[in-house]
Chains A and B, each alone.
Chain A
Amino acid sequence: MSIIDAVLGDFFWRALIGGFGVALIAGPLGCFVVWRRMAYFGDTLAHSALLGIALSFLISVPLNLGVIITSVVLAIALMLFSRNKTLATDTLLGILAHSALAIGLVTLSFMPHVRIDLTGLLFGDLLAMNRNDLLWIYGGAVIILALLILLWRGLLMSTIHEEMARVEGIPVERLRLLLMLMFALVIAVAMKMVGVLLITALLIIPAATARRLARTPEHMAALAVVFGFVAVGGGLSMSWYLDTPAGPSVVVTAFATFLVVYASAGRLVFRI
């Protein structure tokens, strides 16, 4: 117990362990974000997380729960809205993303008694991670990894060719909803780490880096996890030695890795 306490008692190790937990799920989920062109969707969910926090304070529920519920409601609202094709999806996402962010900020301003670290929410506060956060991250990771392993073939088939998947009896709509719920969950647990404005980067950059080297979807998901670990480890070291903010440092490391992999593998293009 004393070793565990010694490790978890140190803020640096807590940050590292928490970061690795997030990278473990952000890798494969990030691949789906890239494959299904859902980057802007991920951004919208992340922006709505701030609204979730404001609402959690308002009705006093745990922050993570409030964020998950808000993201889920928003994801379902998006699905319903996008059936009505009057507005293009990116327009709709733009409206909802920034409205959710703005409403969140306005709501927070109505609660002056709530002392809240806005910078931490927007850009992450990885070094302030506590044991409770670790519990959320690894709880979420177990659920998401189990779902991904269980649903992998169906998710992949419906990503490759939705109609073919439907003909083969894969419940495409239900899987899409489950994938959105998983995004909501990962955003809720990763928010503390890199903040709502940088979460999408953590999903996309390791996956895009992995694309350059991968031959199969599974290979790409595994590599995305590895590059996520590299980003977390590198970012935290950078933060430690250069005294830079931890969340942005993780994203900067991820970006640097991306550049190195693409430059060393030849051209900066999305081709094999």
Chain B
Amino acid sequence: MNETLVAIENLSVRFDGRTVVDRVNLALHRGDIITIIGPNGAGKTTLIKAILGIQAATSGRIMRAKGLVIGYVPQHLHLESTLPLSVKRFMQLSGQPLARCISALERTGVSHLLEASVHHLSGGEQQRLLLARALVRKPDLLVLDEPAQGVDINGQAALYDLIRQLRDELNCGVIMISHDLHLVMAATDKVICLNQHVCCSGYPADISHDPAFIETFGRPVAESLAVYHHHHNHSHDLHGNVVGSGPSRSVTGHDESHAERQEGCQHEHH
């Protein structure tokens, strides 16, 4: 097992008596890509903020590896229009030398925008800039909050693909929130379905059969995902380990093949 980057034990976060994150356990290792999915208000953002160390836990523990460098890619960069900012200056605010900033921008494919104003970037360009900004610090852990929001469908697949490549290059862990179920299922090692508590977690192909997943997302969604995965399992078998473009995932070699149901998972509240 790879080095553990973050371990969460029994983490709960409550706001004004309302439980937003309920007794979550989670371990994130170097090389993992974990995606958190779940309905609105499920506590996904609160959970990653706790991992980032910017949201205090009400109870439970979060342990981070010593000297852990986190690269955070927020959902948006709400830049005040009164603040003039070029891509170059924004990258340099990381405190890293310009050469490294430029190579990070090259890696995410936006180095041609070096002199552009951050205000004028498209959704996809902004996400790639934020990704480069996270990369330049050579993170051990990448944390992304809906990285593909505001990106067109082709761009989304490419972005998830890039995240996977970066995981391989940096040998870092990745944890992200996503609503793009199909893409997530294809690009992720492990999915956590959150609805305050962890409803179910496991490998993408298995989780879509999980009763708790079906209950949370509805049967049509689960079935469409199952079909999708059948297709990709098949192509995976034909071509062996697929790398590069196109959705690929690797389940073979893992010792678990079934989704892990969280004990005591009850859904009386919806």
Chain A residues positioned under 8 Å from B123 (CB to CB)? none
Binding stretch for chain A, among B3-11, B24-32, B81-89, B190-198: B81-89
Q: A255 to nearest B CB, angstroms?
A: 17
B117 beta carbon closer than 8 Å to chain A = yes
Whether B72 lies near A167 (C-beta < 8 A) is: yes
**A-B complex: 10 closest residue pairs judged by Cβ atoms:** A167-B72, A214-B84, A35-B83, A216-B89, A34-B82, A166-B54, A167-B52, A270-B81, A35-B80, A157-B93
Chain A residues, CB < 8 A from B54: 163, 166-167
A160 and B90 in contact (CB under 8 A), knowing A153-B95, A166-B54, A167-B53?
yes
Inter-chain contact B77/A161, CB cutoff 8 Å: yes
Given contacts A163-B52, A163-B74, A164-B72, contact A272 B120 (CB under 8 A): yes
Q: Give, as a whole number of angstroms, the nearest-CB distance from A267 to chain B.
A: 14
Say whether B1 faces chain A, with CB atoms less than 8 Å apart: no
Q: Mark A24-62, 1 if CB is under 8 A from B, else 0.
A: 000000000011110000000000000000000000000
Give the residues from 165 to 220 in chain B that come closer than 8 angstroms, CB to CB, to chain A: none
Which residues of A in the span 231-272 have a Cβ within 8 Å of any Cβ on B?
270-272
> B90 contacts A215, CB within 8 Å?
no
Q: Output the least CB separation between A167 and chain B (Å).
A: 4
Of the residues A159, A164, A166, contact of B83 by C-beta under 8 Å: A159
Name which residue of chain B comes closest to A272, CB basis.
B117
Q: How far is the CA of A270 from the CA of B119 in the complex (A)?
A: 12
**Shortest CB–CB separation between residue B224 and chain A, in angstroms?**
34
CB–CB B117/A163 < 8 A: no
Minimal Cβ-Cβ distance residue in B for A33:
B82
B261 interfacial by beta-carbon distance below 8 Å: no
The reply on A201 being an interface residue by CB < 8 A is no
**Min C-beta distance of B11 to chain A, whole Å:** 18
Q: B57: CB under 8 A from chain A? A: no
Instruction: Show 20 residue pairs from A and B whose CB-CB distance is below 8 angstroms, ordered by the A residue.
Output: A35-B82, A159-B80, A159-B83, A160-B85, A164-B133, A166-B52, A166-B54, A167-B52, A168-B72, A208-B82, A211-B82, A214-B84, A215-B84, A215-B117, A216-B84, A218-B89, A219-B84, A270-B82, A272-B119, A272-B120
B99 at the interface (CB under 8 A from A): no
CA distance A214 to B82 in the complex (A): 10
Q: Which residues of the other chain, B, contact A208 by a CB distance below 8 angstroms?
A: 82
Enumerate B40-86 residues with CB–CB distance to A below 8 Å. Answer: 49, 52-54, 70, 72, 74, 77-86
